Amino acid sequence: MIDPQLLRDDPDTIRRSQEARRASVSVVDQAIEAESARRAAISEFERLRAEQNALGKQVAGAAKEEKAALVARAQELAGGVKSAQAAAGDAERHFTDLTRTIANVVLPGVPAGGEEDFVVLREVGEKPSFDFEPRDHLALAEGFDAIDMGRGAKVSGARFYFLKGLGARLELAIMSLGLDRALDAGFTPVIPPTLVKPEIMEGTGFLGEHADEIYYLPSDELYLVGTSEVPLAGLHSDEILDVSQGPLRYAGWSTCYRREAGSYGKDTRGIIRVHQFNKLEMFVYTTPEEAEAEHERLVGWQESMLQALGLSYRVIDVAAGDLGSSAARKFDVEAWVPTQNAFRELTSTSNCTTYQARRLGIRMRGEGGTRPVATLNGTLATTRWIVALLETHQQADGSVLVPEALRPYLRGLEVLEPVRR
């Protein structure tokens, strides 16, 4: 949720943000109106309640003969108090509902516009070149009997797969490398629940426009998470944290589930876009003042991971209209995928400033009271990395060189060799 104080003091900043996102600007004025209606309703209720409380105290201390008259007066008042309370509740809800539809205020420098309007910040590493026709990740993986799409579909449907043998080991290796690097950077590893309650999913901002991306279990009223960002944000909901000694950094290892509802026909081959995958996610709670510097650190750790695996990539500053509702800025690191002749997203890191924390009631102590913390998240490893890894390091015979950093996690294996069948 945006800062209600900002709504009062500087609505133009919010209007400009909405404009950059190509989102509704008029909702800002509706929210301002709802805010003053809310305050009026609350004042009216509180005035009546104060009167009622005073009268109640008189009743308690009154002599027997006066009591009947006082109770009669209090009874008259009670109805009005009740309806004023209901009106205040309605006004509060209307204001909250409206305000929640406003996305986070984008940071200065974020490019305006939609999906195509990103800005490339830097390109790193040389794109691999081959003196043979490169195979795509699925062809390579099938050579190792590492990915089985057909049986995945038989058991669970399209966009499901089995990782077997080297495929399973490769995923665990990439994830474990990420985890060790996270440990070195001081992160606390976490294996979180992947089914969460509606208020947690709602609080992280995923139930807005992208609600149809999320699996839901109606008989249990639980959502399957698309990222461990969700449980890690919920971890400290309604808590007051001590971030004065530095940020709280968590590395969540979890399976992620996505319906991919709007992407029929896109990326149907292989494991680029699937319903289920594993991910190691960094999640940070810090002060609002530290948030932008921490965002840079997160993208730094991500780049260092790609570099360790010998991948070439670019970093993009995602445009306002392509940000999630909680993000104030987002950097994607995209690896070069040779057979697609394109950069594909391997990691994404968002600075959610105080937006998520305000929704989830995550605060810190400050001057004269509490204030919301800032939250940030970023990918450190996922199943999808297998794609770029295999394609980048492939050789003419269909084998794949294992980058040195990964070898300790594969019992020293240096080359993935096709199996003869």
Partner RNA sequence: GGAGACGUCGCAUAGUCCGGUCGAGUGCACCACCCUGCUAAGGUGGAGAGGGGUUUGACCCCUCCGAGGGUUCAAAUCCCUCCGUCUCCGCCA
Query: Annotated active-site positions, please?
Result: 258, 273, 345, 348, 384
**CA 108 – CA 112 distance, rounded (Å):** 10
Question: Does 380 carry a binding-site annotation?
Answer: no
CB of 120 to RNA, least distance (A): 40
**CA 376 – CA 231 distance, rounded (Å):** 13
Question: Does 348 carry a binding-site annotation?
Answer: yes
CB of 202 to RNA, least distance (A): 14
Per the CB < 8 A criterion, the answer to whether 323 and 105 are in contact is no
**CA 274 – CA 111 distance, rounded (Å):** 29
Question: Does 229 carry a binding-site annotation?
Answer: yes
Question: Does 375 carry a binding-site annotation?
Answer: no
Positions of E strands within 95-232? 119-124, 147-148, 162-163, 188-190, 195-196, 216-217, 222-224
Question: Does 347 carry a binding-site annotation?
Answer: yes
**CA 86 – CA 300 distance, rounded (Å):** 51
Nearer to RNA (CB atom), residue 38 or residue 295: 38
Strand order in the sheet with 276-286: 119-124, 313-317, 329-337, 342-351, 374-382, 276-286, 248-257, 188-190
Nearer to RNA (CB atom), residue 83 or residue 268: 83
CB of 342 to RNA, least distance (A): 45
What does the block give as tokens for 372?
């919301």
Place of tokens 């609350």: 42
Question: Does 411 carry a binding-site annotation?
Answer: no
CB of 188 to RNA, least distance (A): 20
Nearer to RNA (CB atom), residue 96 or residue 340: 96
Question: Does 314 carry a binding-site annotation?
Answer: no
Angle at 14 between CA 208 and CA 289, to 5 degrees: 95
CB of 70 to RNA, least distance (A): 7
Tell me how far CA of residue 118 lies from CA of 112, 196, 351, in angstroms. 8, 32, 16
Nearer to RNA (CB atom), residue 109 or residue 369: 369
DSSP codes joined into one string, 206-253: -SSTTGGGS-EETTTTEEE-SSTHHHHHHTTTT-EE--TTS-EEEEEE
Nearer to RNA (CB atom), residue 157 or residue 369: 369
Nearer to RNA (CB atom), residue 45 or residue 301: 45
Question: Does 274 carry a binding-site annotation?
Answer: yes
CB of 100 to RNA, least distance (A): 14
Per the CB < 8 A criterion, the answer to whether 354 and 205 are in contact is no
Q: Of 198, 203, 204, 260, which is closest to residue 224 (Cα–Cα)?
A: 198
CB of 199 to RNA, least distance (A): 10
Nearer to RNA (CB atom), residue 4 or residue 113: 4
Question: Does 268 carry a binding-site annotation?
Answer: no
Nearer to RNA (CB atom), residue 365 or residue 407: 365
Question: Does 383 carry a binding-site annotation?
Answer: no
What does the block give as tokens for 358?
């305000």
Point out which residues pair with 250 in neighbouring strands: 188, 283
DSSP percent split of the chain into helix, strand, coil, nearest 5: 45, 20, 35
DSSP codes joined into one string, 305-363: HHHHTT--EEEEE--GGGS-TT-SEEEEEEEEEGGGTEEEEEEEEEE-TTHHHHHHT-E
Contacting positions for RNA (CB under 7 A): 39, 42-43, 45-46, 49-50, 52-53, 55-57, 59-60, 71, 74-75, 77-78, 81-82, 89, 240, 363, 365, 369-370
Q: What is the distance between the terminal CA atoms of the chain, rounded to a whole angstrom?
A: 57
CB of 117 to RNA, least distance (A): 35
User: Following CA atoms 144, 167, 224, 280 in sequence, which dihedral angle do they give, to the nearest 10 degrees?
Assistant: -150
- Binding site for L-serine, by residue number, is 227-229, 281, 379
- Binding site, by residue number, is 227-229, 258-260, 274, 281, 345-348, 379
- Binding site for ATP, by residue number, is 258-260, 274, 345-348
